[in-house]
Amino acid sequence: MKKTIALLKKQNELSVIDAELDIYLEIPHLAYAEVKKEEGGKALLFTNVVDKKSGKKFAEPVLMNVFGSYKRCELLFGRTIESVADEITNLLHMKPPAGFMDKISMAKELFSLKNIFPKRLKGEGACQEIQFYEDEIDLTALPVLTTWEQDGGPFITMGQVYTHSLDGEMVNLGMYRLQVYDKNHLGMHWQIHKDSSHFFDQYQKAGKKMPVSIAIGGDPLYTWCATAPLPYGVNELLMYGLITKKPAQLVKSLTNDLYIPKDVDYVIEGWIDTEILKVEGPFGDHTGYYTLEEPYPVLEVSTISMKKERTFLATVVGKPPLEDKYMGWATGKIFFPLLKTTVPDLLDYHMPENAGFHNLILAKMQPLYKGHAKQFMHAFWGAGQMSFVKHAIFVDEKAPSLTNYESFATYILDRFTPKSLFITEGILDALDHSSDETLVGGKLGLDATAANVVEAPNLLGDAELFEKVQELLPEATGLHQYMRRTNNPVTVITLRKNKSVKEYFEALIPLSTNIRIVVFVDDAKNDVFNSYMLIWRVTNNIDALRDVFISGLMVGIDGTNKSQIDGFVREWPDDVECTQSVLKSLQSRGLWDLSEDFNKKFQL
């Protein structure tokens, strides 16, 4: 961490904040706003950290937004992201050598792979300089942040969670939010599809307690590796060796058999009684909504160890854009070659951060036959973490860049017809709140590889169209049309709804010559002119099986919050929002310099 801080300072990528700031809301709120600035703002080092509730002052600083820009990602990787992807591609396509020089070249390449594998050392590491056992254990002595007002408590957000299978043969490094319940208990929010959850099942069936070690800090690449979507049973620290060309050096935990990197800043060790579950949450998550309370396993801490000179690493999640935008960018680039082994005709893919990654994927492919795009959809929805993608849009090789949203949207809308849609059902991320039941819901695919020819509608101006809409929908409060120059403009309507949106859609059918795609959102908390946040809202809020309506060439999408009006019986969570009193306090101290326009743009 010292080397990281020095590197960031040298590259003018770090802001040091010496003002006294609270772990409760104040530090997270500043980091939340910083990463939304142009090019991700700066990494933030908070040097005067306190817990105002207890009066505690912490010795260590808190570092945030370390991955929060493209530049910082590459600084921390020590090389270009593309070079890592190229290396994986070469490994996947390695062929038998054709001659002597090929053999020499391959020998060099294979020899370099010896550094991929983590190295287990004897003795203790710098991470174990200070050790706390039994009554000395106190998680509240760590500057763990409470990010949002409705959070169930403080959460460790950048924890490297080390586990292994019951037989010890498979090792996993993952990142899961970790709720601090008290001095020696943590909530383990690993979802059912995670490797650690599979290991948990093994221990539960055997009637044994499960060992867990959690590291914080050290080389930031350890933290990124914890997010890497590697196949089941593959140790994520192999990526560390591949990227850095040196093995991760590990030491044994003090109270269990798990190994952790020797130079991390903190280690929290313990055991999980697989018969005990405890309510975890709520937590303002990367969806921009609170995830609701649910029972999860509990870690009873057996020891806490740390460096004498240490830095606490944390992140903040909520509404986009956030640090995960840049971490996700690196992940997408690096693991593209692995994804191509499942779908070899894939040319490129992109997951926009304002759709929460899993809520929308844009993919460019080489279509070879009729139905090829639908085959791709099935492959995506069955491939590892891609199976949690809710909405997928496929285009052919002639389409513009996937990140040129204006051109990309034009390309899709000029060739779209309702028959381009493919709606099915599949598994969803546990954080998804929109489906009628947890973990399973609607999936929507759009095949824009074929150039369907449709005539443009009879366009009206916003004011004239809104007048006609209000005659049919008195509850409509606002309207704006996007992509008017295309054959399928998108009309966004805000509502104060008192009945199901399907009824509103059917009432608009008389205007089908003027409207092609109509998106309904609630009047509250939505701005019809803020396309960035509308995409966030709608991709979060729809279940394609329930919320997509078709009449001729007209398509309706219900992006409103769901309630009993819609026959929705689950609890609908609140938006993640900054606490206004905290913002005013930060502003009065000259620490919050953001305009009201910035606040509205990102709906802070």
Return the ∠ at Cα 320 (arms to 81 and 422), rounded to 5°.
85
Residue 470: pLDDT over 50: yes
* pLDDT tens-digit readout, 347-383: 999 999 999 888 999 999 999 998 899 988 888 887 7
Residue 92: pLDDT over 80: no
Residue 385: pLDDT over 60: yes
* pLDDT tens-digit readout, 427-437: 888 889 999 99
User: Per-residue confidence at 107, pLDDT binned at 50, 70, 90?
Assistant: low
Closest CA to 383 of 424, 426, 328, 342: 342
- The model carries a pTM of 0.92
Quote the pLDDT of residue 318.
Answer: 95
Residue 554 neighbours by CB under 8 Å, 6+ apart: 508, 509, 512, 515, 516, 517, 518
Quote the pLDDT of residue 343.
Answer: 84
Domain of residue 541, residue span:
462-566
Strand, helix or coil for residue 96: coil
Closest CA to 294 of 406, 197, 165, 407: 197
* Interatomic CA distance for residues 256 and 171, integer angstroms: 14
Residue 500 neighbours by CB under 8 Å, 6+ apart: 565, 566, 567
* Interatomic CA distance for residues 364 and 382, integer angstroms: 18
Q: Do 443 and 469 belong to one domain?
A: no
Residue 115: pLDDT over 90: no
CA distances from 398 to 208, 253, 254, 372, 489 (A): 56, 53, 57, 16, 21
Q: Do 236 and 119 belong to one domain?
A: yes
Quote the pLDDT of residue 108.
Answer: 58
- Least confident interval from 190-194, 207-211, 257-261, 309-313: 190-194
Domain boundary, last residue among 402, 421, 448: 448
* Interatomic CA distance for residues 478 and 495, integer angstroms: 7
Q: What is the total count of domains within the chain?
A: 3
In a domain, 62, yes or no: no
Beta bridge partners of 214: 161, 268
Residue 341: pLDDT over 90: no
Give the CATH number for residue 194.
Answer: 2.30.110.10
* Interatomic CA distance for residues 149 and 126, integer angstroms: 36
Residue 277 neighbours by CB under 8 Å, 6+ apart: 295, 296, 297, 298
Let me know: does 143 contact 60? Beta carbons within 8 Å.
yes
User: Per-residue confidence at 406, pLDDT binned at 50, 70, 90?
Assistant: very high
Choice between 99 and 175, residue whose per-residue pLDDT is larger? 175
In a domain, 472, yes or no: yes
* Interatomic CA distance for residues 507 and 235, integer angstroms: 55
Average pLDDT, the chain: 92
Chain length of the chain: 604
Q: Do 250 and 142 belong to one domain?
A: yes
The token pair that represents 102 in the structure block: 């090929």
Quote the pLDDT of residue 363.
Answer: 94
User: Per-residue confidence at 180, pLDDT binned at 50, 70, 90?
Assistant: very high
Quote the pLDDT of residue 430.
Answer: 85
Q: Do 387 and 496 belong to one domain?
A: no
* pLDDT tens-digit readout, 22-78: 999 999 999 999 999 988 999 999 999 999 999 999 999 999 999 999 999 999 999
Quote the pLDDT of residue 21.
Answer: 98
Q: Do 400 and 424 belong to one domain?
A: yes
Give the CATH number for residue 475.
Answer: 3.40.1670.10
The token pair that represents 444 in the structure block: 């929507």
Residue 601: pLDDT over 80: yes
Residue 182: pLDDT over 60: yes
Beta bridge partners of 146: 24
Residue 112: pLDDT over 80: no
Quote the pLDDT of residue 102.
Answer: 54
Q: 238, exposed or middle or buried, with CB in 10 Å at 0-12, 13-18, 19+?
A: buried
Quote the pLDDT of residue 93.
Answer: 55
Q: Do 346 and 280 belong to one domain?
A: no
The stretch 214-241 carries a mean pLDDT of 91
* pLDDT tens-digit readout, 540-597: 999 999 999 999 999 999 999 999 999 999 999 999 999 999 999 999 999 988 888 9
The stretch 501-524 carries a mean pLDDT of 97
Can you tell me which residue has the tokens 């010890």? 168
Quote the pLDDT of residue 106.
Answer: 47
In a domain, 165, yes or no: yes
Let me know: does 428 contact 440? Beta carbons within 8 Å.
yes
Domain boundary, last residue among 421, 448, 475: 448
* pLDDT tens-digit readout, 135-152: 999 999 999 999 999 999
CA dihedral 507, 512, 517, 522 (to 10 degrees): -20
Let me know: does 361 contact 351? Beta carbons within 8 Å.
yes
Q: Do 132 and 274 belong to one domain?
A: yes
- The three state secondary structure string of 42-89 is CEEEECCEEECCCCEECCCCEEECCCCCHHHHHHHHCCCHHHHHHHHH
Task: List % helix, strand, coil for the chain (3-state, nearest 5).
Answer: 30, 25, 40
Q: Do 352 and 303 belong to one domain?
A: no
The stretch 290-317 carries a mean pLDDT of 96
- Least confident interval from 300-304, 336-340, 491-495, 556-560: 336-340
In a domain, 109, yes or no: yes
Q: Do 139 and 285 belong to one domain?
A: yes
Q: Do 363 and 505 belong to one domain?
A: no
The stretch 79-104 carries a mean pLDDT of 71
Residue 202: pLDDT over 80: yes
Strands (E), 449-530: 476-482, 490-495, 517-522
Q: Of all residues in the chain, what percent carry a pLDDT higher than 90?
A: 79
Let me know: does 284 contact 317? Beta carbons within 8 Å.
yes
Q: Do 205 and 284 belong to one domain?
A: yes
